[in-house]
Amino acid sequence: MKTIGMIGGMSWESTLPYYRLINQTIRDQLGGLHSAKLVLYSVDFHDIEQLQRCGDWQRAGEAMTQAARALQAAGADFLILCTNTMHKVAESIEAAVPLALLHIADATATAIHQAGLSRVGLLGTRFTMEQDFYRQRMRAQGIDVIVPDAAGRDDVHRIIYEELCQGRILDNSRQRYRQVIANLVESGAEAVILGCTEITLLVSADDAPVPLFDTTALHAHAAALHSLAVD
């Protein structure tokens, strides 16, 4: 079994299900008392969020590469970045260490292809929805991505940072997400990517008329299976 190196803490609310889902997958695959071999580097999200807010992606990338190097030194065989937004600096991580980085968008794209879909809505932080780093990677794999309108993006982003990252789950916010999802479906989305690892704390399949792709679960599952794969 390969050792998984997890860069987490963005936020720790979503790093918790990563740990649980990875270990559950290993148990399901191997049975008995088996669990995952992993090392976790958890950052102080306050510092990262400040860099995101001011657009200092260089320093944010440096923080991620520091984490990656620490995980390599701790014995990790490959890496996962337990957040969608910080995949904006994925190339910096890949350039800094020789370890493979399992990209969260690739795990999601694989599931979308397996479902036979090609046009999906995307929910996430403002950075993930509005910048190209995530959507372009999806487009390169033949998946058309649409995002909410400006008001929808504002609300989705605000709820993530002001509520979900702080463990606050509010019914009014769930209803707003349902409305945003419905609008995406009206715009032609065949499914919706929950492109922020905290969103599944708020909504589930019952909240949407189309399939939802949970990036946290898909990424964690892919990491667990990769740890068991024979090179």
Q: What is the CA radius of gyration of the chain?
A: 17
The Cα diameter of the chain in Å comes to 49
From the candidates 83, 85, 108, 215, give the one annotated as an active-site residue.
83
The DSSP code for 132 is H
CA atoms within 13 A on the CB side of 174: 13
Report the C-alpha gap between 129 and 144 in whole angstroms: 13
Say whether 5 sits in a helix, a strand or coil: strand
Question: Is position 196 annotated as part of the catalytic site?
Answer: yes
Task: Give CA–CA dist 125/153, Å, rounded.
Answer: 8
Which of 131, 1, 165, 15 has the alpha carbon at shortest distance from 80?
15
The Cα 227–Cα 93 span in angstroms is: 19
Question: Distance (Å, rounded) from C-alpha 63 to C-alpha 8?
Answer: 12
Catalytic entry in 15, 82, 128, 196:
196
Catalytic residues: 83, 196
